[in-house]
Structure 1
Amino acid sequence: MLREFKRPQKLMGNAFEITVVSNDENSANQHIDAAIEEIRRIEKLLTTFSDESQTHLINRNAGIHPVKVDWEIFNLIERSLIISRITDGYFDISYGGIDKRFWNFDREMKELPNLELIKDHLKLVNYQNIILDRNSQTVFLKEKGMRIGFGGIGKGYAAEMAKQMLQKRGVNSGIVNASGDLATWGNQANGKPWTVGIADPENAKRPFSYMNITDMAVATSGNYEKFVVINGKKYSHTINPKTGMPVLGLKSVTIFCSNAEIADAMATPVSIMGINAALNMINQINHLECIIIDDQNKIYSSQNINLK
């Protein structure tokens, strides 16, 4: 008889949970082990905290010389740059040098960072200064002090890769939940589609709506979990790479598409670029949908969304 086997695991600094539908506990556990190993492998590849990682090497040689990398990293950076172009630079992996330096959302922040300093550092944020060379398989950051980071796409990439690996291993149904970014395929053990609840920003524990999803990825960017209040104003942890300032006015953005990496990457720019521009962009891209909730709890959704 089919059952759902779940395992929570801290990975990439986030709470992951892997669900596998199977009729055999032993093989389910082996599949989950393999998925966890795959996510750990990706974490090592992408982390900026380890001197061993290629990402760290790229950053250390910014403005000095190109760095030869594995194709996996090369291709991920190349896809990131495509998303930067599509989103007019509102998604930008060269944002690595700013967020932690100026904004710390552990609620201990009492005042705004120095805006002049932020402006100064913004000169280093420009995806067009990430130079890829296919022939030599290298990545070069043009400006000294530039940094890349995969915070906006890494979790989704890991979820997508873990899902694909489980599918290759013959797992017909499951979910990789990367701290709220989901990659789903197949159906629940009872044969019904997976359902996802869209969190109510006023009450994160209680969804305001459900959607049936299968073979679908969902990513949510919300400021109801991570924010600081300074002088009575709420600043969310989503930072606009063009201004270095947090986004105001939105409570959450949820993206739906078939690929978890793309869903993860699109959640941030959609939160930043303004509701009309975001809906306009999403409506022009096939198989990409979104739901946006603003600070007044008004709900906006792209053309093909059917909320239950």
Structure 2
Amino acid sequence: MKKILSFLLLLLTLIGCGKKEPKKIEETKFAFGTMINMVVYSNDETQAKKAMELAFDEIERIDNKYNTHKENSVVYNVNTHPGKEFELDEEGLFLFKSIEKTHELSKGKYDITITPLMKLWGFFEEDVEVKIPTKEELEIAISKVDANNIVINGNKIKLKENKNEIDTGSFLKGYAIYRARLILEENGVDSAFISAISSIETLHTKPEGKTWKIGLQNPEDPSKLYHVIGLADKSMGVSGDYQTFVEIDGKKYHHLIDKETGYPVRDRKMVVVIGENGFLTDMYSTAFFSMPIEDVLEFVNNTENLEVMIVKSDMSEVYSNGFKDYLEK
């Protein structure tokens, strides 16, 4: 019996020793005006690197095809040729129909024609004097913001008026890294993390079965840790008043603008959305920043696989029913 037990222990030891630990492979590239960081764990480094190359190619494809600021992109052409119809392929139609739905559910608060107000506050513009807009300037800019002027007819898209401009900043990055996550999975990767700063994708767990830990910055002091979120097979979108801003007379004005007042939203500091699709979590984190909190909670609590945390201006927090399940600190 002792010999048999010794043999079994030896066999188990050999099996344990023979198990190869997955290797961590990491790469960072620039797209959408930010750094895209990709982490993959794999036992096959060659296969993993090939999958990562394909995933980054997909990000680049989407950036070039739709980015507002890329000359000859679909959106660039629509913006620069008001009144002219442009054909959308299946992907483009899916994107703009989804955006249309988010505009409707937010009762117009989510509006991708926000560009005139963004420019008025000094965002997107270089070498311009940044100042508090006058009442008249705000009224003119507000009159140019109306997503209803984006017309989709069959598989064609156009802008009704030349005063409107589509901005892709609130959805395209999230869509691109979600597509990258799918590419990784299709090419044999089963453990990955993609970060585009405010947009996150996770593919399954880390090799040891633990969730991916994402630290949230403290909105009042971004150098400090606020919360830790644990994710696996989830997407996350974050919007915060500390991320992008202009400074006027020593006061910061952030880029999340209420299209009705023309001013940055004042009653919120951060919105975190967790779901299963980075395209949606990106859009929702922007939409929920200006929607009434009761409307946000009603929508999220009645939608499967969607959670939200809202940090108000006084740093108090509001959660959907299941958000706290993801809080690890």
Q: Report the residue type matching 1:284 in the other structure.
A: N
Which residue number in structure 2 is paired with residue 116 of structure 1? 136
Distance 2:242 2:157 in 1: 36
Which residue number in structure 1 is paired with residue 90 of structure 2? 71
Distance 1:193 1:281 in 2: 27
Which of the two has higher C-alpha Rg?
Answer: 2
Q: How does 1:295-306 map to 2 (within 5 A)?
A: 295-306=313-324
Contact persistence 1:102–1:113 (CA under 8 A): yes
Q: How many positions carry a matched residue from both structures?
A: 305
CA deviation after TM superposition for structure 1 residue 17, in Å = 0.3
Structure 1 unaligned residues grouped into runs of 5+: none
Which residue number in structure 2 is paired with residue 6 of structure 1? 26
- Identity, % of aligned pairs? 27
What is the alpha-carbon root mean square deviation over aligned residues? 2.2
CA deviation after TM superposition for structure 1 residue 124, in Å = 2.6
Which residue number in structure 1 is paired with residue 51 of structure 2? 31
Which residue number in structure 2 is paired with residue 85 of structure 1? 104
Q: How does 1:156-171 map to 2 (within 5 A)?
A: 156-171=174-189
CA deviation after TM superposition for structure 1 residue 69, in Å = 2.6
CA deviation after TM superposition for structure 1 residue 282, in Å = 2.4
Q: Secondary structure at the match of 1:220?
A: strand
Distance 1:206 1:49 in 2: 33
Q: 1:284 to 1:73 in 2, by over 3 A?
A: same
**Most deviating of 43-52 and 7-16:** 43-52
Contact persistence 1:4–1:188 (CA under 8 A): no
Contact persistence 1:3–1:189 (CA under 8 A): no
CA deviation after TM superposition for structure 1 residue 112, in Å = 0.4
Distance 1:214 1:261 in 2: 17
Q: Secondary structure at the match of 2:141?
A: helix
Instruction: Kindly indicate whether residue 54 of structure 2 is the aligned counterpart of residue 22 of structure 1.
Output: no
Distance 2:34 2:211 in 1: 26
Distance 1:109 1:175 in 2: 39
Instruction: Kindly indicate whether residue 151 of structure 2 is the aligned counterpart of residue 131 of structure 1.
Output: yes
Contact persistence 1:102–1:118 (CA under 8 A): no
CA deviation after TM superposition for structure 1 residue 222, in Å = 1.0
Q: Secondary structure at the match of 1:219?
A: strand
Q: How does 1:1-308 map to 2 (within 5 A)?
A: 1-62=21-82, 64-104=83-123, 111-134=131-154, 137-230=155-248, 233-306=251-324, 307-308=327-328
Query: Residues 110-157 of structure 1: CA distance to partner in whole angstroms, max 9, x if unpaired?
Result: 5302331232132232222211122xx210211222211211101101
Distance 1:38 1:289 in 2: 27
Q: Which has the higher helix share?
A: 2
Query: Residues 74-132 of structure 1: CA distance to partner in whole angstroms, max 9, x if unpaired?
Result: 221111001100111111122234313433399x9653023312321322322222111
**Most deviating of 172-181 and 35-44:** 172-181
Contact persistence 1:35–1:165 (CA under 8 A): yes
Q: Secondary structure at the match of 2:115?
A: coil
Q: Secondary structure at the match of 1:197?
A: strand
Q: Secondary structure at the match of 2:101?
A: helix
CA deviation after TM superposition for structure 1 residue 167, in Å = 1.1
Q: 1:74 to 1:146 in 2, by over 3 A?
A: same
Distance 1:101 1:68 in 2: 31
Q: Report the residue type matching 2:302 in the other structure.
A: Q
Distance 1:203 1:117 in 2: 32
CA deviation after TM superposition for structure 1 residue 231, in Å = 5.1
Q: Secondary structure at the match of 2:158?
A: strand
Q: 1:111 to 1:124 in 2, by over 3 A?
A: closer
TM-score after normalising by structure 2: 0.85
Contact persistence 2:218–2:224 (CA under 8 A): yes
Query: Residues 38-83 of structure 1: CA distance to partner in whole angstroms, max 9, x if unpaired?
Result: 1111001112233321211111221x23222322222211110011
TM-score after normalising by structure 1: 0.91
Distance 2:29 2:140 in 1: 39
Q: Secondary structure at the match of 2:145?
A: coil
CA deviation after TM superposition for structure 1 residue 159, in Å = 0.9
Q: 1:267 to 1:274 in 2, by over 3 A?
A: same
CA deviation after TM superposition for structure 1 residue 229, in Å = 4.2
Distance 1:270 1:154 in 2: 17
**Most deviating of 272-281 and 76-85:** 272-281
Contact persistence 1:84–1:90 (CA under 8 A): yes
